[in-house]
Amino acid sequence: MVRGDYLILVEGDRVPADGVLVWGLNCKIDESLLTGESIAVEKESVDETSEMGKIGKSLINVTEEDTLFKKETTKIVKTVFIIALVLCATVIGIYGLTQKDWISGILSGLTLAMAMLPEEFPVVLTVFLALGAWRLSKKQVLTRKVAAIETLGAATVFCVDKTGTLTKNQMSLEILFAHNTFNDVSKNEKDELPEIMHELSLPFLPPKKGPSFWRTNCL
Protein backbone atom coordinates (compact mmCIF):
# COMPACT_ATOMS: atom_id res chain seq x y z
CA MET A 1 0.00 0.00 0.00
CA VAL A 2 1.41 3.36 -1.07
CA ARG A 3 0.20 6.92 -1.19
CA GLY A 4 -2.70 7.38 -3.60
CA ASP A 5 -4.09 3.84 -3.28
CA TYR A 6 -7.85 3.34 -2.93
CA LEU A 7 -9.09 1.15 -0.09
CA ILE A 8 -12.40 -0.71 0.01
CA LEU A 9 -13.57 -1.20 3.59
CA VAL A 10 -16.55 -3.12 4.93
CA GLU A 11 -18.12 -3.33 8.36
CA GLY A 12 -15.63 -4.37 11.01
CA ASP A 13 -12.49 -3.52 9.00
CA ARG A 14 -9.68 -1.42 10.42
CA VAL A 15 -8.46 1.62 8.51
CA PRO A 16 -4.82 0.70 7.79
CA ALA A 17 -3.58 4.18 6.90
CA ASP A 18 -4.41 7.86 7.06
CA GLY A 19 -6.61 9.06 4.23
CA VAL A 20 -9.80 10.80 3.13
CA LEU A 21 -13.20 9.30 2.39
CA VAL A 22 -14.02 9.42 -1.31
CA TRP A 23 -17.40 7.65 -1.17
CA GLY A 24 -19.37 5.93 1.57
CA LEU A 25 -22.84 4.72 2.50
CA ASN A 26 -23.85 5.13 6.16
CA CYS A 27 -20.18 5.06 7.04
CA LYS A 28 -19.26 5.32 10.72
CA ILE A 29 -15.74 5.00 12.07
CA ASP A 30 -14.42 4.42 15.57
CA GLU A 31 -12.05 7.32 16.29
CA SER A 32 -11.30 6.44 19.91
CA LEU A 33 -7.55 6.28 19.21
CA LEU A 34 -7.65 9.84 17.89
CA THR A 35 -10.28 11.59 20.03
CA GLY A 36 -10.79 9.21 22.95
CA GLU A 37 -14.54 8.95 22.32
CA SER A 38 -15.81 5.40 22.02
CA ILE A 39 -18.93 6.31 20.00
CA ALA A 40 -18.52 5.83 16.26
CA VAL A 41 -18.50 9.02 14.19
CA GLU A 42 -20.45 9.33 10.94
CA LYS A 43 -18.28 10.21 7.97
CA GLU A 44 -18.98 12.03 4.73
CA SER A 45 -16.85 12.21 1.61
CA VAL A 46 -14.53 15.24 1.49
CA ASP A 47 -11.65 16.49 -0.61
CA GLU A 48 -9.85 18.21 2.26
CA THR A 49 -6.85 17.11 4.26
CA SER A 50 -7.36 14.20 6.61
CA GLU A 51 -7.55 14.68 10.39
CA MET A 52 -4.08 13.22 10.90
CA GLY A 53 -2.80 15.57 8.22
CA LYS A 54 -4.34 18.56 10.01
CA ILE A 55 -2.68 17.53 13.25
CA GLY A 56 0.66 17.16 11.46
CA LYS A 57 0.37 20.63 9.91
CA SER A 58 -0.50 22.21 13.26
CA LEU A 59 2.54 20.58 14.90
CA ILE A 60 4.86 22.17 12.33
CA ASN A 61 4.05 25.66 13.64
CA VAL A 62 4.44 24.70 17.31
CA THR A 63 7.53 26.23 18.89
CA GLU A 64 8.97 24.71 22.03
CA GLU A 65 9.11 27.21 24.88
CA ASP A 66 11.67 27.25 27.65
CA THR A 67 10.53 25.74 30.91
CA LEU A 68 10.09 27.86 34.03
CA PHE A 69 13.11 26.13 35.51
CA LYS A 70 15.32 27.19 32.60
CA LYS A 71 13.94 30.74 32.64
CA GLU A 72 14.66 31.16 36.34
CA THR A 73 18.16 29.70 35.97
CA THR A 74 18.93 32.03 33.06
CA LYS A 75 17.67 35.00 35.08
CA ILE A 76 19.91 34.15 38.04
CA VAL A 77 22.98 33.66 35.81
CA LYS A 78 22.40 37.01 34.07
CA THR A 79 21.98 38.81 37.41
CA VAL A 80 25.18 37.32 38.82
CA PHE A 81 27.02 38.15 35.59
CA ILE A 82 25.97 41.81 35.73
CA ILE A 83 27.01 42.07 39.39
CA ALA A 84 30.37 40.44 38.61
CA LEU A 85 30.91 42.79 35.68
CA VAL A 86 30.20 45.87 37.82
CA LEU A 87 32.50 44.68 40.61
CA CYS A 88 35.19 43.81 38.08
CA ALA A 89 35.12 47.34 36.66
CA THR A 90 35.09 48.80 40.18
CA VAL A 91 38.13 46.79 41.28
CA ILE A 92 40.03 47.69 38.12
CA GLY A 93 39.30 51.39 38.58
CA ILE A 94 40.13 51.53 42.30
CA TYR A 95 43.27 49.41 41.95
CA GLY A 96 44.51 51.36 38.96
CA LEU A 97 43.90 54.77 40.51
CA THR A 98 45.32 53.92 43.91
CA GLN A 99 48.21 51.63 43.00
CA LYS A 100 48.94 53.05 39.54
CA ASP A 101 49.22 49.47 38.28
CA TRP A 102 46.51 48.90 35.69
CA ILE A 103 47.74 45.44 34.64
CA SER A 104 47.43 44.08 38.16
CA GLY A 105 44.11 45.88 38.53
CA ILE A 106 42.74 44.17 35.40
CA LEU A 107 43.95 40.77 36.59
CA SER A 108 42.41 41.31 40.03
CA GLY A 109 39.10 42.37 38.51
CA LEU A 110 38.99 39.37 36.18
CA THR A 111 39.85 37.04 39.07
CA LEU A 112 36.98 38.42 41.14
CA ALA A 113 34.55 38.15 38.24
CA MET A 114 35.51 34.55 37.44
CA ALA A 115 35.21 33.60 41.11
CA MET A 116 31.67 35.00 41.27
CA LEU A 117 30.33 33.36 38.11
CA PRO A 118 28.11 30.34 38.98
CA GLU A 119 30.10 27.75 37.05
CA GLU A 120 28.73 24.94 39.22
CA PHE A 121 25.13 25.57 38.13
CA PRO A 122 25.09 23.13 35.18
CA VAL A 123 26.64 20.33 37.25
CA VAL A 124 24.36 20.84 40.25
CA LEU A 125 21.20 21.12 38.16
CA THR A 126 22.09 18.05 36.09
CA VAL A 127 22.72 15.98 39.22
CA PHE A 128 19.46 17.02 40.88
CA LEU A 129 17.39 16.36 37.76
CA ALA A 130 19.11 13.00 37.29
CA LEU A 131 18.20 12.10 40.87
CA GLY A 132 14.60 13.05 40.08
CA ALA A 133 14.59 10.78 37.03
CA TRP A 134 16.07 7.96 39.13
CA ARG A 135 13.33 8.34 41.76
CA LEU A 136 10.67 8.33 39.05
CA SER A 137 12.15 5.16 37.54
CA LYS A 138 11.51 3.42 40.86
CA LYS A 139 7.81 4.19 40.30
CA GLN A 140 8.07 2.59 36.83
CA VAL A 141 7.99 5.98 35.08
CA LEU A 142 10.55 6.63 32.36
CA THR A 143 11.46 10.25 31.58
CA ARG A 144 12.38 11.07 28.01
CA LYS A 145 13.19 14.73 28.64
CA VAL A 146 14.83 16.11 31.75
CA ALA A 147 12.61 19.22 31.61
CA ALA A 148 9.58 17.01 32.23
CA ILE A 149 10.83 16.31 35.76
CA GLU A 150 10.74 19.99 36.69
CA THR A 151 7.35 20.47 35.01
CA LEU A 152 5.87 17.47 36.82
CA GLY A 153 7.22 18.67 40.15
CA ALA A 154 5.63 22.11 39.69
CA ALA A 155 2.24 20.77 38.56
CA THR A 156 -0.74 21.49 40.79
CA VAL A 157 -3.51 20.20 38.49
CA PHE A 158 -3.16 16.97 36.51
CA CYS A 159 -5.60 16.43 33.63
CA VAL A 160 -5.81 13.12 31.78
CA ASP A 161 -8.03 11.66 29.10
CA LYS A 162 -10.43 9.17 30.63
CA THR A 163 -10.57 6.72 27.72
CA GLY A 164 -7.52 4.48 27.58
CA THR A 165 -6.02 6.17 30.65
CA LEU A 166 -8.54 5.95 33.47
CA THR A 167 -10.79 3.52 31.63
CA LYS A 168 -10.28 0.65 29.17
CA ASN A 169 -12.83 1.88 26.59
CA GLN A 170 -14.80 -1.29 27.33
CA MET A 171 -18.21 -1.52 28.93
CA SER A 172 -18.43 -4.04 31.78
CA LEU A 173 -21.17 -5.38 34.03
CA GLU A 174 -20.54 -4.79 37.74
CA ILE A 175 -23.66 -5.61 39.81
CA LEU A 176 -26.98 -7.32 39.08
CA PHE A 177 -30.14 -6.85 41.16
CA ALA A 178 -33.12 -9.16 40.76
CA HIS A 179 -35.77 -10.50 43.15
CA ASN A 180 -34.40 -8.34 45.99
CA THR A 181 -30.98 -9.93 45.60
CA PHE A 182 -27.68 -8.32 44.65
CA ASN A 183 -24.98 -10.16 42.77
CA ASP A 184 -21.52 -8.61 42.44
CA VAL A 185 -20.46 -9.86 39.02
CA SER A 186 -17.02 -8.22 39.15
CA LYS A 187 -16.05 -10.09 42.33
CA ASN A 188 -17.67 -13.40 41.37
CA GLU A 189 -16.43 -13.71 37.80
CA LYS A 190 -15.37 -17.35 38.27
CA ASP A 191 -18.64 -18.38 39.93
CA GLU A 192 -21.72 -19.46 38.04
CA LEU A 193 -24.48 -16.88 37.75
CA PRO A 194 -27.46 -17.65 40.02
CA GLU A 195 -30.60 -18.90 38.29
CA ILE A 196 -32.64 -15.85 39.31
CA MET A 197 -30.19 -13.60 37.45
CA HIS A 198 -30.31 -15.43 34.11
CA GLU A 199 -33.29 -13.57 32.68
CA LEU A 200 -31.83 -10.20 33.69
CA SER A 201 -28.42 -10.94 32.16
CA LEU A 202 -29.71 -11.97 28.70
CA PRO A 203 -29.40 -8.47 27.17
CA PHE A 204 -25.72 -8.36 28.24
CA LEU A 205 -24.73 -11.69 26.76
CA PRO A 206 -22.65 -11.57 23.53
CA PRO A 207 -24.74 -12.15 20.39
CA LYS A 208 -24.46 -15.40 18.50
CA LYS A 209 -22.19 -15.36 15.49
CA GLY A 210 -23.94 -15.53 12.17
CA PRO A 211 -24.10 -14.00 8.69
CA SER A 212 -24.54 -10.28 8.37
CA PHE A 213 -27.31 -9.09 6.04
CA TRP A 214 -26.03 -5.54 5.69
CA ARG A 215 -22.66 -3.91 5.46
CA THR A 216 -21.14 -0.53 4.91
CA ASN A 217 -18.93 0.01 1.90
CA CYS A 218 -16.41 2.82 1.94
CA LEU A 219 -14.22 3.67 -1.02
Residue 65: DSSP 8-state: P
Q: How confident is the model at residue 23 (pLDDT cuts 50, 70, 90)?
A: confident
How many Cβ atoms sit within 10 Å of the Cβ of residue 27? 19
| 11 vs 162, more confident | 11
Task: Give the CA radius of gyration of the chain.
Answer: 33
Q: Which residues are catalytic?
A: 161
Burial (CB < 10 A; 0-12, 13-18, 19+), residue 105, is buried
Give 45-93 pLDDT, tens digit per residue.
776 777 777 777 877 877 777 777 778 888 888 888 888 888 888 988 8
Using a cut of 0.75, tell me whether the model's pTM lies above it: no
Q: What's residue 162's pLDDT?
A: 66
Phi/psi region, residue 26 (left: phi>0; alpha: psi -120 to 50; beta: rest), is left
**pLDDT at site 212:** 32
CA gap 77, 121 in Å, rounded: 9
